[in-house]
Amino acid sequence: MAELSWLIAATALALSGMAWLALPMEVHWGQVMHRPAAQAPRTRQLLRGLGALALLLSLLACLMADRPSMAALVWIMLMAGSAVAVALTLSWRPRWLRALAIG
Amino acid sequence: MFQNFRQSMTWLHTWFGLVIGFVLIVVFFFGSLSVFDREFDRWALPDTRFDPQPMPSFDQVLLPALQKIEPDEADYAANMPLLHDPAKGPLTPRIELPADEYWAYTTHRDPVLSMGVGFGVPLARDPDGHNHIHGNATIDPRSGAAVRADQLKIGSEWFYPMHYSLNWPWMNLGIFIVGLAALVMLAALVSGVVMHRKVFREFFTFRPKKHTQRSALDLHNLTGVVALPFHFFFAFTGLVIFGAFYFLPVSQFQLKGLHDQHEVVEAAETGLPHQAAGVPAPLASVDAMVAQAKQRWAGRDMAGEVGFLMVHHVGDANSYVSVYRAGSDRVALVGEGIHFKGSTGELLFEDPPRSPVSEVNEFLTGLHLQHFEHWLLRWLYVLGGLLGCMCIATGFVFFVEKRKRQHAKAGVQGSRVVDALAVTTVTGMVIAATGMLVANRLLPADLAGKGDWEKAAFFGVWALAMLHAFVRSAPVAQARLNPAWREQCWTIAALAVAAVLLNGLTTGDHLVKTVFTDTYWAVAGVDLSLLVSAGIAVAVVRLLARREQAQCPTPAQADTNSSDSAAEVAHG
């Protein structure tokens, strides 16, 4: 059961990590916030950092769940899936990502 | 010929991608289905819907079942005349061939167990060669009863071979075509990255509301880039797995002497007899050997079940038994083989620790063949495979969208043909697969040679889809949509729903039962995936219907469209 919790955590971290990397990008910031990106340079910088951190933590969670060789595969595939999920959210329901624009 | 490197890469990507795309999309799609091949088997063979079983007792269950197996008639007819030397004496009748080796194989997803016998060929042309006529069987390991042989395991015996050989066994041409496609795919990936100017800036970009050419390219880039590690590693490891095969079977021709000598030297080093002694001897308890092997694995901190078991030189004094571990707990496909003397059960040899090279090889092989037990990763592999399909399909759409207006003006049929072939390989392929499942449930269970009828249904339905795609393709020549896309999506939805309903009706394993009251995820998973596919197909139908209506264009509109795309689609 512990493995399952770690994998759920890894998935959540990969998803939010990808979202945090996408949000600060000029086009996507406009899509989600309906404001020019230039107005919030520091927030965007912060989110970028959060995104990278979340992806790293996601790897750690994968390592907690499985042996390293398996964890690496799970992590890479989770990132691919998360990127697609974020891209599709941006094109169909960009407002959903607003909750992640903290700071 | 080209002004710069990027242009030459674009040319390569466009044309090589188009040609091999038709092969690769089949490989990707059936590869994705093969991730759950054993589950498709359960769906197709209702008698085998029970829980996965460990390797049963050899002495009690496997040996009696193995002794019942007869040499395969087709194998005997085809190969016996090649292997037997008439100068030395008369041909041994089929059922009198002596058993020379036994094997049994199972995984953590197999309720039933596959096993087989290699029968020796007396008076062989080349007595040192591997002269075997084979006979295989599948049994219920709980009772030892045989599962009917003329039924087709649709997952592992049809979708899976489709993935690596296109089910085209003639001269192994299918395997070579898939290998070539994988090799070219690596080039297509590299050239794709080179020609894509905004890998990072457009990493998350998909603009569905733009015109088709733009949104298809967005989706092509998105699915190609985010799953790039997956695409690369699966093409590459696929080539690694078949490496020995693709490099021509040199060990059987130019290097045969070296190969045979190597076997002898290896046998001397390991102490595992290369040849039968010619002296009969009984087989000791294999169960005792299995118990000892399990103990030794546990001693190496690799406790596990038996995945593969083999008896060499059956009935001979030189007989030995090889026991291999099931690789369900790690990526690398390691057997950790332990070998015992058949007549006494004494330990002969343990596979030594692996060299770094073979460790890398086993990791790469295991990564692709996925014997491990990890349901999340399995689904992520399905996702990766389907992203590959999307990448190729949107590549086709982009190719057609980019050219069809020019072709319409010039009166050329090029984009029309490519579009029809795209319909055939994208929706037609899904129709073939779902159609086969429907046929499996419609054909009576006791029909003789049922598997052959199912194969005929698969290709028959696919051929019909192709015919339909070409017959309906005329609008493409006028720069409009081929209605076959929409109509075939309808067909997919109808067939998928029909398959789920028929499964419930003919076996009683409807979704309420398989999900809630008597949970059986192998069947429920196939049913649910079929329903999701039907849902997606219906959504696509609605989208395409809207596009088709909007697309009865005035000439002026058509012009603005094409100038838009010229400005926007910078490359290609």
**ipTM of this complex:** 0.95
The minimal CB distance from A80 to the residues B204, B207, B230 is found for B230
CB–CB contact B203 A76 (8 Å):
no
Six token digits for residue B50: 């029970």
Sign of the dihedral defined by the CA atoms of residues B327, B330, B332, B334, in that order: negative
Radius of gyration of chain B (CA): 27
The predicted structure's pLDDT at residue B171: 82
**Torsions phi, psi for B204 (to 5 deg):** -105, 20
Written as tens digits, the pLDDT of chain B (572 aa) is 678 888 899 999 999 999 999 999 999 999 999 999 999 999 999 999 999 999 999 999 999 999 999 999 999 999 999 999 999 999 999 999 999 999 999 999 999 999 999 999 999 998 877 889 999 999 999 999 999 888 999 999 999 999 999 999 888 899 999 999 999 999 999 999 999 888 888 899 999 988 889 999 999 999 999 999 999 999 999 999 998 787 766 777 778 888 888 888 988 889 899 889 999 999 999 999 999 999 999 998 888 899 999 999 999 999 999 999 998 888 888 889 999 999 999 999 999 888 999 889 899 999 999 999 999 999 999 999 999 999 999 999 999 999 999 999 999 999 999 999 999 999 999 999 999 999 999 999 999 999 999 999 999 999 999 999 999 999 999 999 999 999 999 999 999 999 999 999 999 999 999 999 999 999 999 999 999 999 999 999 999 999 888 876 544 444 444 444 433 343 33
The predicted structure's pLDDT at residue B460: 98
Interface of B to A at Cβ within 8 Å reads: 201, 203-208, 222-223, 226-227, 229-230, 329-332, 363, 367, 372, 374, 376-377, 380-381, 383-384, 387
**Residue B254 is which amino acid?**
Q
CB–CB contact B208 A92 (8 Å):
yes
- Delimit the domains of chain B by residue range: 5-47+161-238+374-568, 50-158+270-369
**Torsions phi, psi for B331 (to 5 deg):** -75, -50
Beta pairing partners, B99: B119
Q: Judge whether A25 is closer than 8 Å to chain B, CB to CB.
A: yes
Residues in chain B: 572
* b/e burial code for range B90-129 (CB count within 10 A of at least 16 → b): eebebeebebbbbbbbbbbbbbbbbbbbbbbbbbbeeeee
The minimal CB distance from A70 to the residues B372, B381, B387 is found for B372
Q: Are B524 and B514 in contact (CB under 8 A)?
A: yes
Distance from CA of B83 to the nearest CA of A (A): 44
Q: Judge whether A73 is closer than 8 Å to chain B, CB to CB.
A: yes
Distance from CA of A37 to the nearest CA of B (A): 15
CB–CB contact A84 B226 (8 Å):
yes
Cα–Cα distance measured from residue B110 to residue B49, given in angstroms and rounded to the nearest whole number: 10
* pTM of structure: 0.92
A23-44: per-residue pLDDT in tens?
999 999 999 999 888 888 999 9
| pLDDT > 50? residue A20 | yes
The predicted structure's pLDDT at residue B233: 95
CB atoms within 10 A of CB B512: 11
**Nearest residue of A to residue B364, measured between CA atoms:** A69
Cα–Cα distance measured from residue B267 to residue B279, given in angstroms and rounded to the nearest whole number: 19
Six token digits for residue B353: 């620790």
Q: Judge whether A87 is closer than 8 Å to chain B, CB to CB.
A: yes
CB atoms within 10 A of CB B357: 8
Cα–Cα distance measured from residue B245 to residue B178, given in angstroms and rounded to the nearest whole number: 12
In chain B, what residues touch A70 (CB-CB under 8 Å)? 330-331, 372, 374, 377
In chain B, what residues touch A74 (CB-CB under 8 Å)? 374, 376-377, 380
Q: What is the dihedral angle through the alpha carbons of B214, B220, B222, B228, rounded to the nearest 10 degrees?
A: -160
In chain A, what residues touch B229 (CB-CB under 8 Å)? 76, 80
Distance from CA of B51 to the nearest CA of A (A): 21
